[in-house]
Amino acid sequence: MGALLQVDRLTVALPTRSGYQKAVDDLSFAVDAGEVIGIAGESGSGKTITALSLFGLLPHGARVTGSILLDGAELLGLTGRQLRAIRGRHIAMVSQDPSTALHPILPIGTQLTEHMRHHLGVSKTEARSRAAGLLETVRIPDPEQALRSYPGQFSGGMRQRIAIAVALAAEPRLLVADEPTTALDVTVQAGILRLLDRLCRERGMAAIFITHDLGVMSATARRLCVMYAGRLAEAGPTSQLLARPRHPYTRGLLDALPHPEAGSAPLVPIGGSPPSLGRVPAGCPFHPRCRYAQQSCATDRPEPEPIAEAHLLACPPDPLRLTS
C-alpha cells in the first residue's frame, strides 16, 4: 500500500536580501494512512515551511523543487483553484495560535459550516447539525449555544478545540498540527493531545505534529523526524529515538529538556543557537554546535542513511552508536 503523503526531496528556497536561501533542503518523508508522525526541531529548522509547502501557502516568491504526492497525486505546481479543492478537504491545518486561526467577528457556526457546505455540498441544516456534532466531539459544552457565539467568548483551550473542529469539518484524511499546544497551559495541552489522539484513532485520520516539545511528541507520534537547519537529522520510531537518540542534535534536544523525575541538576543546553537563513554552515549544519564534531563534519554533507529498521541518521561518524 502506498503512503498517503509522500514528500520526496523537497527543497524550498525563500527570497532574502542576499538572494535565495534554502529553508528546507532535500527533505523526504512519508505518512501512511492513519499514521501519526512528528516533526521536531528548534525554530528556524524549517518545520513550519515544510508544513506550509503542503498547503501551497509559502511566502510569495518561494522556489520549490522536489515532489509532494498526496495519494499519488502531485501537489506542487497546482493552481489556486485546484489547491482550494484539496485544502481543508483532504489535508487540514491546526495552527499554533487559536486566536488568529478563527475569524473574530464571524460566529463559530458560520466558520464551521462554510467548509462543509463548500467541500461536501451538504445543506444548511445538515451542516448545522454536523457542526454541532463536531463541537460535541471536541467537547465544547452546549454546542448549540456555541454555534451562535464568537471566538472571543471562549478561553484559549476552548478556541483551540474549536479550531480543531473547523479543521475536521470536511473530514480530511491528513491533519497538520503546527505547534497546536504551545500557546496553551499544560493541563489544557493534555486535553488537546488526548483529543487529537482520540480523533486520529476513531477516524483513521493521519496527522503530522510539528513541535519543538519532545514530550508532546512522545505522547502522540509513532514516528519522529528531527530537523535541523532545513535538513533531516534523524528519523525513526519515537520510542527508539527518545530512548536511544543517535544524532547528537537529538541527544542535545533531549538533554536540554528538564525531566520531571530527575533531581535539580542543571539543564544541559546545546551551546550556540541554530543558524539563520543563509548562514547555514558547510558540511553538517550542526557541526559548529556539536561536541563530537570531527574534521570531516565541516566539509562533508551528511545524507540520511538507514541504520536500522525505519531509522534514518544523517551523521556518518555516528558517535552515539555505542551509547545507550
State which amino acid sits at residue 318: D
Q: Which is nearer to other proteins, 127 or 313 (CB)?
A: 313
Q: Which is nearer to other proteins, 197 or 318 (CB)?
A: 197
Contact 124, 117 (CB under 8 A): yes
Q: How far is the CB of 324 from other proteins (least distance, A)?
A: 13
Cα–Cα dist 228/225, whole Å? 10
Q: Assign residue 279 a region: left if phi > 0, alpha if psi is -120 to 50, beta otherwise? A: alpha
Q: Which is nearer to other proteins, 219 or 320 (CB)?
A: 219
Cell 469539518, located at residue: 169
- What are the residues whose beta carbons fall under 8 Å from the beta carbon of 256, sequence distance 6 or more? 267, 268, 269, 270
Contact 5, 174 (CB under 8 A): yes
Question: Would you tell me how many other CB atoms lie within 10 Å of the CB of residue 176?
Answer: 25
Measuring CA to CA, how many Å separate 81 from each of 66, 275, 293? Answer: 21, 36, 48
Cell 483553484, located at residue: 81
**Chain residues that interact with other proteins, rule: CB under 8 A:** 42-43, 155-158, 185-191, 193-194, 197, 212-220, 222, 238-243, 252-254, 256-270, 273-274, 276
Q: Which is nearer to other proteins, 19 or 141 (CB)?
A: 141
CA triplet 88, 30, 10: central angle to 5 degrees?
A: 85
Q: How far is the CB of 11 from other proteins (least distance, A)?
A: 24
User: Which of 176, 201, 197 is closest to 86 using CA atoms?
Assistant: 176
Q: Which is nearer to other proteins, 86 or 210 (CB)?
A: 210
Q: How far is the CB of 162 from other proteins (least distance, A)?
A: 13
Q: How far is the CB of 184 from other proteins (least distance, A)?
A: 8
Q: How far is the CB of 272 from other proteins (least distance, A)?
A: 8
Q: How far is the CB of 214 from other proteins (least distance, A)?
A: 4
Residue 131's SS3 state is: helix
Q: Which is nearer to other proteins, 71 or 197 (CB)?
A: 197
Q: Which is nearer to other proteins, 219 or 307 (CB)?
A: 219
Burial of 19 (0-12, 13-18, 19+ CB in 10 A): exposed
Q: Which is nearer to other proteins, 144 or 185 (CB)?
A: 185
Q: How far is the CB of 308 from other proteins (least distance, A)?
A: 15
Q: Which is nearer to other proteins, 61 or 263 (CB)?
A: 263
Cell 528548534, located at residue: 42
Q: How far is the CB of 213 from other proteins (least distance, A)?
A: 7
Q: How far is the CB of 210 from other proteins (least distance, A)?
A: 14
E strand or H helix at 177: strand 174-178
Cα–Cα dist 120/185, whole Å? 35
User: Which of 209, 206, 197, 205 is closest to 40 using CA atoms?
Assistant: 209
